[in-house]
Amino acid sequence: MTKPLRLGIAGLGTVGVGVVRIVQRKADLLAARSGRPVTISAVCARNRGTDRGVRLGDYDWQDDPVALAQRDDVDVFVELMGGADGPAKAATEAAIAAGKDVVTANKAMLALHGQALASAAETAGAALRFEAAVAGGIPVVKALTEGLAGNEISRVMGVMNGTCNYILTRMQGAGLPYDEVFKEAAALGYLEADPTLDVGGIDAGHKLALLASIAFGTQVDFANVELEGIQRVEIADIEQAADMGYRIKLLGVAQMTGRGLEQRMSPCLVPADSPLGQLEGGTNMIVLEGDSVGQIVLRGAGAGEGPTASAVMSDVIDLARGTRLSTFGQPASSLARPTPAKSAVPAPYYIRMELQDKPGALAKVATVLGDAGVSIDRMRQYQHDQANAPVLIVTHKTTRKALDTAIAGMGETGVVAGQPVAIRIEEV
């Protein structure tokens, strides 16, 4: 009989339980597709007594994930604990040092330590796989490392956080303010324990950094991902964007430019009739652009027990079949250190501000924009019954650097109330 592939699973939260369910319920299918049985030797979690709704009595229990990673009867260490450092990193390093393959869903750990872990795995002759770390059930890592391996990738773009997409589409559909929808998302359990990871763009930024590494053959560089969350997006922005034929998304974009690697995760206006513009609820979408294939759009569930466990099992089955790839699609030693480029590609911008309602205020703002080299495409002042007048400006294509210079200058005019909101209009 063919020797089974034996798993040690660390972390029995939503995803870990989902993996156990798949192994238990689909044993015959897994064996047929991988050519050998897939079994579980031992598991590990914080609380042994929790009722998780799955049968765990057949497996050994380890209180220490490092000990689990080092067991002789574990071929693949499945790390589903989360956290950039601490037990997850220690156990992953221990598994690699023991020559064991690792499958993880831990985007934060890889975004911060991916290069070191990939190098260690390469030296030890172990595989480090992470399909489940990016976009849940969407097989985007496999698409880049395998399906599009013959392409030079020009751009990776997408909605990579379902919670933010839920909040923005709910604001638009129900006409509700951000604070109210945020509370609703929290009550539904959509937010991380630290909600800033979601609404601040950090979670999605981790994912973008991993995809950029694969797409452009560079070392993971999360530190230079430009991050801007959705906290300042107001219902007025959503309504005014809709009037112009756009929708607002927390959009990740990575592209290699003449100045270096541009990576940004920020709110953007996208055409309402585009695939990204039509994306609703908690769904994720990744757009990949290659020189031979053109544009590929991948859409699906970005989180949840089933989709993420499905992604974990795709890596497990590859290992059971004997398919072994470098962590980021090519040897870690060949990954270049990227030169970061901050929003180097020009684009039009949407600017919302409040001006003091007095003669010459608008002219002062227009002068500041012109002095910074930013030209106005259109401008609209809305009716108001307050001291300050809401004003919307859409610029022609400009750089973020020029726009930031202009916004800084607006603060010195004495006619702008508060900080203007600037949102990039992305070509998709």
Q: pLDDT tens for residues 155-170?
A: 999 999 999 999 999 9
Question: Among residues 407, 409, 376, 410, which one has the least CA distance to residue 393?
Answer: 376
CATH class, domain 5-133, is alpha beta
Could you tell me the residue ranges of all domains in the chain?
Answer: 5-133, 144-301, 349-425
Inform me whether the pLDDT recorded for 347 exceeds 60. Answer: yes
pLDDT confidence bin for 383, thresholds 50/70/90: low
Query: Are 304 and 94 spatial neighbours (Cβ–Cβ below 8 Å)?
Result: no
Inform me whether the pLDDT recorded for 1 exceeds 60. Answer: no
289 pairs with which residues across the strands? Answer: 155, 295
Q: What is the mean pLDDT of residues 187-196?
A: 85
DSSP helix/strand/coil, 410:
helix
Q: What is the mean pLDDT of residues 317-338?
A: 96
Question: Among residues 293, 133, 299, which one has the least CA distance to residue 208?
Answer: 133
What six digits make up the tokens of 213?
């590494």
Specify the pTM.
0.93
pLDDT of residue 264: 95
CATH 3.30.360.10 fits 144-301, yes or no: yes
pLDDT of residue 384: 63
**Helix 235-243 vs helix 162-174: crossing angle, to nearest 10:** 70
Inform me whether the pLDDT recorded for 128 exceeds 70. Answer: yes
Inform me whether the pLDDT recorded for 211 exceeds 70. Answer: yes
pLDDT confidence bin for 406, thresholds 50/70/90: very high
pLDDT of residue 189: 81
**More reliable by pLDDT, 385 or 79:** 79
Angle at 339 between CA 337 and CA 342, to 5 degrees: 140
Average pLDDT over the chain, rounded to an integer? 93
Angle at 336 between CA 334 and CA 337, to 5 degrees: 140
Inform me whether the pLDDT recorded for 42 exceeds 70. Answer: yes
Inform me whether the pLDDT recorded for 386 exceeds 90. Answer: no
pLDDT of residue 183: 93
Q: What's the sign of the alpha-carbon dihedral 24, 30, 36, 41?
A: negative
Q: How far is it, in rounded angstroms, from Cα 329 to Cα 399?
A: 32
CATH 3.30.70.260 fits 349-425, yes or no: yes
209 pairs with which residues across the strands? Answer: none
Q: What's the sign of the alpha-carbon dihedral 9, 10, 15, 16?
A: positive
- Which residues are tagged catalytic? 207
What six digits make up the tokens of 188?
């539904």
Q: What is the mean pLDDT of residues 22-31?
A: 96
Count of C-beta atoms within a 10 Å radius of residue 58: 10
First to last CA, the chain: 52
pLDDT confidence bin for 408, thresholds 50/70/90: very high
Q: What is the mean pLDDT of residues 74-80?
A: 98
Q: What is the mean pLDDT of residues 177-181?
A: 94
Percent of the chain predicted with pLDDT > 70 = 99
pLDDT of residue 190: 83
